[in-house]
A and B are shown apart, each in its own frame.
Chain A
Amino acid sequence: AQSVTQLGSHVSVSEGALVLLRCNYSSSVPPYLFWYVQYPNQGLQLLLKYTSAATLVKGINGFEAEFKKSETSFHLTKPSAHMSDAAEYFCAVSEDGGSNYKQTFGKGTLLTVNP
């Protein structure tokens, strides 16, 4: 069964600092991996996704993530944090289940950005 572990339920950075949000996955087959962002009182918005093409994936708002099979990781990074990046971030994994692409989400990491 697939699963996702997000290390750190809360990450705090200063504005302009590097953002690093960690995600490790477990999957019995080559996975699809996703990062979503959720702002208060809103639904989830896709930041980026890995679908077995390039291992370094670039997303919206300057975020990127690198798929490392040997480490079963898909960490999210951004070189310079902005105040507007403060939100909750979710990593998700999906397996090829034929017609059923079920996504399993991690528990989320709350990112706060200090001025």
Chain B
Amino acid sequence: EAGVAQSPRYKIIEKRQSVAFWCNPISGHATLYWYQQILGQGPKLLIQFQNNGVVDDSQLPKDRFSAERLKGVDSTLKIQPAKLEDSAVYLCASSFLAVRGRYEQYFGPGTRLTVT
């Protein structure tokens, strides 16, 4: 089966510019996650979707970050305007359902963002 797809793989922008990342989860996976992974740290959950509804966005900086998952399939994450501290790898993951005993996330390759 095809894995989680993300694009672009790399992006370099200047601060105050905007940027968008795209994620296509594994077919049939209802749950989709966006993580931010800063160099030297573990992934931090930004937002979690169940189908096209938001389950958890408590750590999403809503003044500059936004995400949507139209039709409960693919998703976009946007940053506007970007700051230097947004430089990180943005990982998308999906899972069939967040159900006890079946909770396994599949990760995409990530998008490495550099803000100059």
Chain A residues within CB distance 8 Å of chain B: 4, 9, 32, 36, 41-46, 49, 51, 90, 92, 94, 96, 99-108
B100 touches A96 (CB 8 A): yes
For the complex, give the distance between the alpha carbons of A36 and B41 in Å: 14
Q: Tally the A-B contacts, defined by beta carbons under 8 Å.
A: 62
> Which residue of chain A is the closest to B45 with respect to CB atoms?
A102
Contacts of B106 in A (CB 8 A): 46
> B100 is contacted by which of A41, A51, A90 (Cβ under 8 Å)?
A51
Contacts of B43 in A (CB 8 A): 44, 90, 105
B4 touches A102 (CB 8 A): no
B15 CB to nearest chain A CB (Å): 24
> A101 is contacted by which of B41, B98, B112 (Cβ under 8 Å)?
B98
Known: A90-B43, A103-B45. 15 other contacts (CB 8 A): A41-B112, A43-B108, A43-B109, A46-B104, A46-B105, A46-B106, A99-B98, A101-B98, A101-B100, A104-B45, A105-B42, A105-B44, A107-B41, A108-B41, A108-B42
Q: A90-B42, A107-B41 are in contact. Are A102 and B48 (CB under 8 A)?
A: yes
Q: A100-B56, A102-B56 are in contact. Are A49 and B104 (CB under 8 A)?
A: yes
Of A36, A46, A51, A101, most buried by chain B (CB within 10 Å of CB) is: A101
A45 touches B107 (CB 8 A): yes
B7 CB to nearest chain A CB (Å): 13
A sample of 19 cross-chain residue pairs with beta-carbon separation below 8 angstroms, ordered by A number, consists of: A4-B42, A41-B112, A42-B109, A42-B110, A43-B4, A43-B110, A44-B91, A45-B107, A46-B105, A51-B100, A51-B101, A90-B43, A96-B100, A99-B50, A99-B98, A102-B45, A102-B48, A106-B42, A108-B42
Of A32, A44, A90, most buried by chain B (CB within 10 Å of CB) is: A44
